[in-house]
Amino acid sequence: MRLVSLAPSATATLVAMGAADELVGVTHHCDLSDAAVAPERVGGWLNTDLDAVAALDPDLVLTSDPLQRDTRDDLRERGLEVYHAEPETLDDAVDGFAALGRAVDHAAAGERLAADARERLRRVREAVADEPRPTVYCEEWADPPMAAGNWVPEAVDAAGGAYPFADPGERSGEVSREEVAAADPEYVILHPCGKGDRADPDEFRERDWGLDAEIHVVDDSLLNQPSPNLLAGVERLAGILHGIDEPAD
């Protein structure tokens, strides 16, 4: 198939299932640094060059998240086939690996990816089952401060933490200093969208929120992206909270 991915999560999932060579177009936000042949870049996640997408004559265009609904609709109006996903929970994200595999004619690879993800989650949960559960604040955006939602509450839970800032499946939302201070988190996880692992803990400290918490930076692709990278994010959190980097069988 000739695939165009406008969602970094879809791109990462295709790479994990061994279908990256079918990508003819991706956004500037998609990581294909190890690709043998680089597909054409067709703009950003929310400012895609739709003419460039159409010129690639794709069999299928991949979009994700409510923020890409307008892009999805514009592409369909142009007569292009679009596969659109809006995972909200951790289960949605994992089930989405198999669903994407079916959409791109790699059903077996997608099922294997989903099964592997479930096994990795099982191993982490088992490894932290008897550990104390510290309170964790995960920040997806800094200005204004936004507590991460969607699958992040479940990712924290799977890694052995408590997350009082959002329910599973709830969208990320603005949070106040008072709300965070009242929860008294023992860990602060910074993973602002688009920053990779370049968030600055000192900028958080300069807010003077009065927290007695360890501050850690996690690459945003490991927590913000509903791709197989999310499993590495759960494992990273387990390492931060409990010193468990690679849960044993």
> Is 28 a residue whose pLDDT tops 80?
yes
> Minimal CA–CA distance to 97: which of 218, 212, 14, 197?
14
Residue 74 DSSP SS3: helix
Q: Which long-range contacts (CB under 8 A, 24 or more apart) does 116-119 make?
A: 116/228, 117/228, 117/230, 117/231, 118/94
Rg, the chain, Cα only: 19
> Is 202 a residue whose pLDDT tops 80?
yes
Average pLDDT score over residue span 197-220: 94
| Number of Cβ within a 10 Å radius of residue 10 | 29
pLDDT of residue 33: 75
pLDDT of residue 246: 57
Q: Strands, E, within the chain: which ranges? A: 3-5, 23-26, 40-41, 60-64, 82-85, 136-142, 145-147, 173-174, 187-190, 214-217
When pLDDT is cut at 50, 70 and 90, the band that residue 35 belongs to is low
Per-residue pLDDT tens over the stretch 49-98: 999 999 999 999 999 999 999 999 999 999 999 999 999 999 999 999 99
pLDDT of residue 244: 83
Per-residue pLDDT tens over the stretch 129-188: 999 999 999 999 999 999 999 999 999 999 999 999 999 999 999 999 999 999 999 999
pTM for the structure as a whole = 0.93
> Is 245 a residue whose pLDDT tops 80?
no
Phi, psi of 10 (to 5 degrees): -65, -40
Using CA atoms, how far apart are residues 149 and 27, in angstroms rounded to an integer? 24
Q: Which long-range contacts (CB under 8 A, 24 or more apart) does 230-233 make?
A: 230/90, 230/93, 230/117, 230/151, 230/155, 231/117, 231/120, 231/121, 233/155
Per-residue pLDDT tens over the stretch 93-130: 999 999 999 999 999 999 999 999 999 999 999 999 99
When pLDDT is cut at 50, 70 and 90, the band that residue 247 belongs to is very low
> Minimal CA–CA distance to 87: which of 95, 79, 75?
95
Please check whether residue 136 is in contact with residue 180, taking contact to mean a CB–CB distance below 8 angstroms. no
CATH 3.40.50.1980 domain span(s) along the chain: 3-86, 132-242
Question: What are the tokens at 32?
Answer: 């294909």
Task: Output the CA torsion 158→229→65→22 (10° steps).
Answer: -150
Please check whether residue 127 is in contact with residue 244, taking contact to mean a CB–CB distance below 8 angstroms. yes
Q: How does DSSP classify residue 213?
A: -
What is the topology classification, in CATH, of domain 132-242? Rossmann fold (3.40.50)
Architecture of domain 3-86: 3-Layer(aba) Sandwich (3.40)
Using CA atoms, how far apart are residues 40 and 72, in angstroms rounded to an integer? 19
pLDDT of residue 36: 67
